[in-house]
Chain A
Amino acid sequence: DGGITQSPKYLFRKEGQNVTLSCEQNLNHDAMYWYRQDPGQGLRLIYYSQIVNDFQKGDIAEGYSVSREKKESFPLTVTSAQKNPTAFYLCASSISTSGIGEQFFGPGTRLTVL
């Protein structure tokens, strides 16, 4: 089955620790995105990548880092510099690299900082 997978589903982190969230897709999509969702707010774009070995900052990139070494994979690292990391993290992909095409989401990772 084609789709987007994210792991883990739930993640708990102590303050000061870096954590990496996994995102994999087998849809052969070129573009991949990371968003975070907080209660009562819309999705906010963290980073995006339109091609392998290239990525761009979104609206709230501070305290996060990404890599895009393979087309299928776009992991997100939440660093200790991120002041308020507790949130629902969503990865998406799109066949379009325009940034405004249909995007399809993985099931998300809920990160809680203890």
Chain B
Amino acid sequence: RKEVEQDPGPFNVPEGATVAFNCTYSNSASQSFFWYRQDCRKEPKLLMSVYSSGNEDGRFTAQLNRASQYISLLIRDSKLSDSATYLCVPGGGATNKLIFGTGTLLAVQP
């Protein structure tokens, strides 16, 4: 089983749509969780940290389900500028490092 699994997409959605990405991780001892966004041929940029109670930042909502080892990201009212690859990143356990998923590609259409 891969350490982090994400649907690679692409998710093609119209502007204004709501889209959700899911991610599962294999290490039950993971202690930190992040979502990064990566534009084509650019570096990853931190989008959100994910807390146990779930958290929201504007149009973005992140949820964590430790029992199912599942992380989600919800984007409401999609903008063209949201088009990017979204990386799910758990960290911790025996390795004490971040594990980067391969990402989910989002393409918001006008």
Question: Could you tell me which A residues sit within 8 Å of B by CB distance?
Answer: 35, 40-43, 45, 48, 58, 88, 90, 98-108, 110
Contacts and interface: CB of A to CB of B under 8 A. Distances in A.
Nearest to A48: B97
A58 B41 CA distance: 23
B91 A99 contact: yes
Given A98-B96, A100-B96, A100-B98, A43 B44 contact: yes
B87 interface: yes
B50 to A, nearest CB: 11
Contact of A100 (B41, B43, B45, B97): B97
Contacts of A88: 41
Contact of A106 (B43, B96, B97, B101): B43
Contact of A105 (B43, B96, B99, B101): B43
Which of A35, A105, A110 has the most chain B CB within a 10 Å cutoff?
A105
Contacts, number: 48
A47 to B, nearest CB: 12
B100 A101 contact: no
Contacts of A105: 43-45
Contacts of A103: 46, 98
Most chain-A CB neighbours within 10 Å: which of B87, B97, B103? B97
Contacts of A58: 97
A23 B75 CA distance: 33
Contact of B98 (A90, A99, A106, A108): A99
B34 interface: yes
